[in-house]
Amino acid sequence: MREPRPEDVPKPGPWLRAADGEVLLPSQDGKESASALLTADGRVLRVDANYADVLGVNALPDLGTSWPDTLPAMLIETGRQMFDELTGAERVDRIVPLLASDLRWARLRLRRVQDLEGTALVLVQVDDLTSPDRASLVAQVIRDPLTGVFNRRALEELLALPGRWTERYTGVLAVDVRRFRRVNDVWGRAVGDACLAEVARWLDSLTADNDVLIRLADAEFLVLLSQSSPVPQALTDRPSRTVTVGEHAVQLSLQAGLASSGPLPELAARAEMALSEAKRSGWRTVVAWSGSLAEAADRAARTEEAVQQAVASRAETVHFQPLLDVVAGRVIGVEALVRLGGAAAGVPASQILQASHRLGLTPALARRVYRQALRDGLRLREVFPDCQLAVNVSREFLSTGLAVDTLLAAVAESGVPSREVTLEITEDVATGLSAQLLQTELAKAAAAGLAIAVDDFGRGETSLALLRMLPLAAIKLDRSLLPTSGDDQPGWDFVAGAVALLSRITPVLVAEGVETAEQSSRLVELGVARQQGFLFGMPAPAEHWLTHPVAFPPPEPE
Ligand code: G
Ligand code: MN
């Protein structure tokens, strides 16, 4: 390397021609653009005097140097790729980050040209795109037009840099505006846009010099954090602001996910994962990424994928489990339980329901399951006459307001009398569902003749207030309350107490999860003759029950 000399200054004047015949004008000297002329095999013939300045390298290259080696170290590989691409193209154009003392951006253009003698050459043009004031369309490729901060494309270029260049970013903060959709819905897009520009200014005002602010999408931003960046602490201390747009005062509140230590691409992904957790929690402001978050997210993603595949391939089946009156000695009901095969085999029902709800698959899946349950339920009446057919309705499906109509349609279509159908809800419907929706839906079901049972009582958020409000036909005591050993006196005292209360507030009390003859007879002693559990039969397809009797009466305990 050496200092520039006057003869290095090229005059890539009208003697250069592009393939399309265009005559290229001399390049302009300045801080923002420079050019170099290369032989067809990529050796430097001439360079502009400002070539080194624009690229941020120390000195002008020697003539004859292979062109990629004239670039800053982080771009040498990119330069080689570009030159290779030029073999099959007239021109190659890229926007690349330059991480010198601060973050800069350049556009590199390679173009095949000829001089007047017809010698094939390559013209390199370098434009500095760093200044946010540059209004050119090219500069906009890496900037978000609304807020002026860097965009997703800029992030991708940075993530593509070899790791050691991005080590200066020791953390990533993913930021989102709480319930931003509502701002758009309530005040309109124009106000929403103004708020986003304000959020960008707000975040920018918190950043340190070497932090990089990026808008990813909608109201989501990423901050690449330099060592000891003040942004995470500043947001933790003060996550809300009132923004005035015209005559509207909009309260904006931020949530964030923080990832620290690791390579940049991982940091970015982890920060977003932590942000999702913050949003799921609702109340948390800054959530730090951890390994257990990743495991949970991974599991949830695998479940969703499996459920999606299974529902798409209609891999659902309906199993039935009998419910007995062990004193009267007869089967008084069967409960229909959905099972997913294929990729989702073995996933617990509660997870299937939540995943299918998140994926928007519940209405279609439920319609098919209810139809199947009722069609099979009709056939089971041959072996189990005078039985209630119980169908589970999830809280998630109830929340759509479609559940009862869907079930009633399936009942009507099947020919099973509606008074022989029980709708089972879990007591957790008390949380996360409006009391009004719940009452309307269940009143509709009751009016159509369905019996309503509360399932898994005692496991979740037990609400006596809810029980009082519902048109209740039965309560099923959750299996977690059943002691596994006859010696567990406190456990059995607890069951006795629960039974004393529940038998006064429900016409029918059922014990679930009965697995041993001892449990069964203790329950009978406590006055609970209606029982369901593995002791009498595992959930099985209708075919099984059409050909196999129920294990009844259960063997007496020794
Ligand atoms: O929440 P609900 O009661 O609808 O759940 C029924 C589930 O309980 C079914 O998946 C069924 O396999 C399971 N189950 C039924 N009987 C027993 C039992 O005796 N023991 C255990 N551990 N699980 C049971
Ligand atoms: Mn149930």
Q: Please give the share of the chain, as a percent, with pLDDT higher than 90.
A: 67
Q: Are β-strands 474-477 and 451-457 bridged in parallel, bridged antiparallel, or unpaired?
A: parallel
Average pLDDT over residues 115-128: 89
Residue 127 has pLDDT above 70, yes or no: yes
Helix (H) or strand (E) holding 169: strand 169-177
Q: Under DSSP, is residue 5 helix (H, G, I), strand (E, B) or coil?
A: coil
Mean pLDDT of 212-219: 95
Among 102-106, 125-129, 425-429, 439-443, the minimum mean pLDDT is found in 425-429
For the four alpha carbons of 194, 200, 201 and 202, in that order, the dihedral sign comes to positive
Which of 241-250, 390-399, 427-436 is predicted with the least confidence, judged by mean pLDDT? 427-436
The span from the CA of 114 to the CA of 40, in Å, is 10
Instruction: Answer yes or no: are the C-beta atoms of 168 and 227 closer than 8 Å.
Output: yes
Gyration radius of the chain over CA positions: 35
Number of the ligand closest to the Cα of 459: 1
More confident site: 406 or 59: 406
Q: And the tokens for 484?
A: 């596994």
- Which position has the token pair 């942000």? 275
Q: How far is the CA of 498 from the centre of ligand 1 (A)?
A: 20
For residue 2, the model assigns a pLDDT of: 45
Residue 275 has pLDDT above 90, yes or no: yes
Average of per-residue pLDDT across 505-513? 96
Query: How many angstroms separate the alpha carbon of residue 385 from the centre of ligand 1?
Result: 23
CA quadruple 220, 223, 228, 234: dihedral sign: negative
Q: What is the model's pTM?
A: 0.67
* Per-residue pLDDT at 28: 58
Check if the beta carbon of residue 476 is closer than 8 Å to that of residue 513.
no
Ligand that comes closest to the CA of residue 535 = 1
Superfamily for domain range 313-547: EAL domain (3.20.20.450)
Alpha carbons 456 and 453: distance in angstroms, whole number = 10
Buried b or exposed e, range 145-184, using 16+ CB within 10 angstroms: eebbbbbeebbebbbebeeebbebbbbbbbbbbbebeebb
DSSP secondary structure letter of residue 392: E
Give the dihedral of Cα atoms 354, 360, 364, 369; nearest 10 deg: 0
User: Mean pLDDT in the chain?
Assistant: 90
Q: Please, what is the Cα angle at 44 between 41 and 48, to 5 degrees?
A: 140
Helical ranges in 74-179 per DSSP H: 76-85, 137-140, 152-160
Token match 């500069």: residue? 139
- Atom 18 in ligand 1: residue holding the nearest Cα: 513
Q: How far does the centroid of ligand 1 lie from the alpha carbon of residue 133, in Å?
A: 65
To test ligand 1's pocket by mutation, which of 337, 422, 424 has the most ligand atoms within 8 angstroms of CB?
337
Q: What is the CA(455)–ligand 2 centre distance, in A?
A: 5
Residue owning the nearest CA to atom 21 of ligand 1 = 513
Alpha-carbon gap, residue 87 to 83, rounded angstroms: 7
Angle at alpha carbon of residue 268, lines to 263 and 273, rounded to 5° = 125
Domain boundaries, the chain: 6-137, 145-289, 313-547
**What is the rounded CA–CA span in Å between residue 347 and residue 388?**
27
Which residue reads 């502009």 in tokens? Answer: 48
List, in sequence order, every residue forming a beta bridge with 176; answer none if it has no partner: 220, 255
Q: What is the DSSP string of 283-327?
A: S-SEEE--HHHHHHHHHHHHHHHHHHHHHHTT-EEEEEEEEEETT
Tens of pLDDT, residues 300-315: 889 999 999 999 999 9
453 CA from centroid of ligand 2 (Å)? 9
Long-range contacts (CB closer than 8 Å, 24 or more residues apart) made by 477-482: 477/502, 477/509, 477/510, 477/511, 477/512, 477/528, 478/512, 478/513, 479/512, 479/513, 479/514, 479/533, 480/513, 482/511, 482/512, 482/513, 482/514, 482/519, 482/523
pLDDT band of residue 19 (cuts 50, 70, 90) is low
* β-bridge pairing 248-260 and 286-288: parallel
Could you report the per-residue pLDDT of 218-259, keeping only the tens digit for each?
999 999 999 999 999 999 999 999 999 989 999 999 999 999
Residues contacting ligand 1 via CB (< 6 Å): 321, 337, 349, 392, 455-456, 479, 512-515, 533-534, 539
- Choose which residue among 340, 512, 515 to substitute to test ligand 1 binding: the one with the highest number of ligand atoms within 8 A of its C-beta: 512
CATH class of 145-289: alpha beta
Per-residue H/E/C for 177-190? ECCHHHHHHHHCHH
CB burial readout 6-21, b (16+ within 10 A) else e: eebebebeeebbeeee
Cα gap 391→425, rounded to integer Å: 9
* CATH of region 6-137: 3.30.450.20
Q: Which residues contact 51 (CB under 8 A, 6 or more apart)?
A: 34, 35, 36, 60, 61, 70, 126
pLDDT at 9: 46
